[in-house]
Amino acid sequence: MGFLVLLLFSLLGLSSSSSISTHRSILDLDLTKFTTQKQVSSLFQLWKSEHGRVYHNHEEEAKRLEIFKNNLNYIRDMNANRKSPHSHRLGLNKFADITPQEFSKKYLQAPKDVSQQIKMANKKMKKEQYSCDHPPASWDWRKKGVITQVKYQGGCGSGWAFSATGAIEAAHAIATGDLVSLSEQELVDCVEESEGCYNGWHYQSFEWVLEHGGIATDDDYPYRAKEGRCKANKIQDKVTIDGYETLIMSDESTESETEQAFLSAILEQPISVSIDAKDFHLYTGGIYDGENCTSPYGINHFVLLVGYGSADGVDYWIAKNSWGEDWGEDGYIWIQRNTGNLLGVCGMNYFASYPTKEESETLVSARVKGHRRVDHSPL
């Protein structure tokens, strides 16, 4: 790695004492300086080394280099037009050698009609879900100890399962004080409507967990990134939920009402949302505004909202993704809120869902005595 960085210094006319050090990520480099074929090729070699990428033959490597160059040009163009320092940034992340089409095929579902699923869910938003009086300026469930580490779904469009388990993990931790990682693989294998990796929904996961008496832990039913035979009946110890709710935008909904419903829900627990994520491909940080979404009605992915905040007057949601900690903001993406768009960024306001679980008697008793295993106080 050090030799490759020194080679880049030489190609860019920098000294070895430059501010770019050999231990910094390729994401820290100024990509506007890489303009010649030789510089881009050396940058590609550095990227390969950082991500441990090895190709089958020279033809495949040449193909990936060409895709890398196209992505590099796109990144430079998009970053040059950022509206503010807080606007989202693109970078040469671990997906930089695949095309947008390859990315969608491997990590997303085929676009799905949200309106059809809303009819199938057949659950209406409760009127009280629209109200949220005096919410705190920011909220982050990660700081409350109820969010598991970011996971990696691999080459399986199972974001729906990860978003669902994340919501159940959090609800269980809030209710019992115990944080446990749950099995996405059980949902991929056993939720028949999902057809394995690529056709699941958050609410279907919650329905399945309710109907089958709970969900296995990740230790008991580990993830394999592909559909297999359902083994739910072999698992004894399961995490249960009491029900689930939906946040569904109707024809009568206003953007303000929907945002208030999301705020009200997220102050109680993290929530699973559907979204068009095609443009997440090269995201590395900042507040994502969704201007390049292909279709807010064509849902293809699910993320878990774990909180919200603001930066210089720009409001955002904090969303946990399932593409590993080396994507985005340590595995998370900040998505702009209060945009004035009824559908929200990339359709995320359209259809959200979350499980419900009553607090255990032990936790209620502990709170009465003044002890809390999960801190519910504002940040």
Determine the Cα–Cα distance for residues 247 and 258; give it in Å rounded to an integer. 8
Question: Measured over all CA atoms, what is the biggest interatomic distance in the chain, rounded to whole angstroms?
Answer: 68
- Strand residue runs (E) in 166-300: 243-248, 271-275, 283-285, 287-288, 298-299
DSSP state of 130: G
Q: Are strands 271-275 and 243-248 parallel, antiparallel or unpaired?
A: unpaired
3-state secondary structure 36-86: CHHHHHHHHHHHHHHHCCCCCCHHHHHHHHHHHHHHHHHHHHHHHCCCCCC
Q: What token pair was written down for 65?
A: 């280099």
| Cβ proximity of 328 and 319 under 8 Å | no
Does residue 89 sit in helix, strand or coil?
Answer: strand
Determine the Cα–Cα distance for residues 183 and 217; give it in Å rounded to an integer. 5
Determine the Cα–Cα distance for residues 140 and 310; give it in Å rounded to an integer. 12
Q: What token pair was written down for 210?
A: 């309710």
| Cβ proximity of 29 and 20 under 8 Å | yes
Handedness of CA 169, 174, 176, 178 (dihedral sign): positive
- Of 81, 321, 338, 341, the active-site residue reads 321
DSSP state of 326: T
Does residue 288 sit in helix, strand or coil?
Answer: strand
Respond yes or no: is residue 321 known to be catalytic: yes
Determine the Cα–Cα distance for residues 111 and 343; give it in Å rounded to an integer. 16
Determine the Cα–Cα distance for residues 225 and 227; give it in Å rounded to an integer. 7
Respond yes or no: is residue 134 known to be catalytic: no
| Cβ proximity of 332 and 321 under 8 Å | yes
Compute CA 331 distance to the chain's CA centroid, rounded to the nearest angstrom.
7
Closest C-alpha to 352, from 315, 317, 377: 317
| Cβ proximity of 206 and 272 under 8 Å | no
- Of 23, 301, 338, 349, the active-site residue reads 301
* Active site amino acids: 301, 321
